[in-house]
Amino acid sequence: MLPRLYFRRRPEEVEGLRSQFISSSCSVSYRNTGPLHISHGYKARLVDINGIEYLDTRNNVAHCGHGHPEIVRAITYQVGQLQTNTRYLHPHASLLAKKLSDLLPRSLERVFFVNSGSEANDLALRLARAYKMQQKGATHDARKDHTIVIDHGYHGHTLSTLDASAYKHRQGKEIDKCPAHLRIVPCPDVYRGVHSIKKSLPRKYDASLHKDKEQYCESEIEAANKYASYVEIECEKYPVSAFLIEGGMSVAGVILPPKSYLRRCIDAVHKAGGLYIADEVQTGFGRLGKCMWAFQYSNENEGGVDEIIPDIVTVGKPFGNGQPLAAVITTPCIASAFESLGVEYFNTFAASPVQCAAGLAMLHVLSSEHLQKNADDVGNYLVELFSELQSRCEWIGDIRGSGLFIGVELVRDQHTLEPATEETSFVCSILKDKYKVLTSVDGAHENVMVIKPPLVFSRADAALFVSCFEKALLVDLPMVKDRLKYFGRTPT
């Protein structure tokens, strides 16, 4: 009885109701150029109400693809059986906790299920506080311990995780942007950051663009050392309870920490008695291709020596392939510091048999369809295609990332690195309107195309995407610029 009525709504009505009843703080993509009325999806495709298919290069939640039949079946079956809380025992929650732990380093074997990445990072901060309290004794004021976070990082929308999200501090004008106990260190961006690496290209030093840039580094190691030193200084100066960092920074424009950065930071944090919280909400479950988790990327990078092992890991977005499912995983020792406080942790919706069925099915498909390997393969192919394009196109400043987590940074000038912000926005619009490709733009200057599609993204999808991207950049963009120039308007 229900669904038929509700689906037959004219787009104008849907838009009208939305703008009347949903706060405008909840953004709609392509608001100015025509928002999308998506009806259904499959694999890396979304289909709108007119039947137009879009290639989805940005959805990092539908990990195994939109509407994956096996996952849909698992959810569908379980919804009809039982959806209740974890105060009753159910095989799904127990098994999912085990399977999640099995995918992580051996020491990480205590799971807390939650509903979202925000709830996960919020709880991770609480665990770190409990641990510090245990170390220091009950009289210790854990609220005054410092949390070190990365500039341009994003960790969630709750009050505590917003505080920890330096990127949000810049976005708006909420006061008290940075509470006293939050220490923000520079983002270890070796392309455009404070300590970037000198490339073969000669670059002009433009003071207005690089006003806080100290000097170019000769190598990745040198940059890593310089970036890590900020964390080391914080650890010497302040009582630190946690170092919270995304394995791959998506909002910052796909920044993977340079070689040896994580190792040095973690050592300093541990020496100060703090914990390393690996935020894998965006990057976990094989997205990086080479490794299951982004924190392992540094191991890969360094030949597996001195393995990086987080104290706490948070996962979210792709975990339930769309169903709200997230988790915090930690060591028995840290969990027991929290447990000894005697406070129950109850989360009404988290890890109901339905959410867990989605999680189990996602892990099953991830493995049976070898999607991590596919991410690695297609990711390499994408980098290859973009590199080839870069040789013919001066807009592409940098191509970085791993697996299906790739950033393509557009610049107006390869020397000054002037960000091509308006051009990137234009390319994103034209890709949607003309080529039916959905993309995502991020980075401090909003000039990085962030590619983070479902892991079923194929080589054919990659080829289609890059060819559309090329046309947008080399045909449509110059054409528009030319037209605007003809009419005497500033090309934006």
Place of tokens 């663009």: 209
d(CA 67, CA 44): 10
20 binding a second copy? (CB under 8 A): yes
d(CA 275, CA 127): 9
142 binding a second copy? (CB under 8 A): yes
d(CA 187, CA 166): 10
Taking the complex as a whole, how short is the minimal distance between the CB of residue 346 and a second copy, in angstroms? 7
Residue (191 or 285) nearer to a second copy, CB: 285
Residue (61 or 385) nearer to a second copy, CB: 61
Taking the complex as a whole, how short is the minimal distance between the CB of residue 123 and a second copy, in angstroms? 8
Q: Which of residues 348-377 bind a second copy (CB under 8 A)?
A: 348-350, 352, 354-355, 357, 360-361, 364
432 binding a second copy? (CB under 8 A): no
3 binding a second copy? (CB under 8 A): yes
Rg (CA), the chain: 23
d(CA 22, CA 25): 8
Taking the complex as a whole, how short is the minimal distance between the CB of residue 277 and a second copy, in angstroms? 14
Taking the complex as a whole, how short is the minimal distance between the CB of residue 358 and a second copy, in angstroms? 9
Residue (159 or 475) nearer to a second copy, CB: 159
Taking the complex as a whole, how short is the minimal distance between the CB of residue 489 and a second copy, in angstroms? 27
158 binding a second copy? (CB under 8 A): yes
Q: Which of residues 393-422 bind a second copy (CB under 8 A)?
A: none
User: What is the Cα 375 distance to its own chain's centre?
Assistant: 15
d(CA 330, CA 111): 7
Burial level of 244, CB count in 10 A (0-12/13-18/19+)?
Answer: buried
Residue (74 or 235) nearer to a second copy, CB: 74
**Residue of 33, 52, 53, 82 interacting with a second copy (CB under 8 A):** 82
**Residue of 44, 55, 64, 97 interacting with a second copy (CB under 8 A):** 97
- Cα–Cα distances in angstroms (integers) from residue 421 to residues 75, 398, 489, in the given order: 41, 14, 17
**Residue of 44, 55, 64, 74 interacting with a second copy (CB under 8 A):** 74
273 binding a second copy? (CB under 8 A): no
Q: Count residues contacting a second copy (CB under 8 A)?
A: 127
Contacting residues for 334 by C-beta, under 8 A, at least 6 apart: 110, 127, 128, 130, 131, 275, 311, 312
Q: Which of residues 25-54 bind a second copy (CB under 8 A)?
A: 25-29, 35-41, 46
Phi, psi of 40 (to 5 degrees): -155, 180
- Cβ atoms 153, 250 nearer than 8 A: no
**Residue of 43, 45, 63, 126 interacting with a second copy (CB under 8 A):** 126
**Residue of 55, 63, 65, 117 interacting with a second copy (CB under 8 A):** 117
208 binding a second copy? (CB under 8 A): no
Place of tokens 């302040």: 238
Phi-psi region of 121 (alpha: psi -120 to 50; beta: other; left: phi over 0): alpha
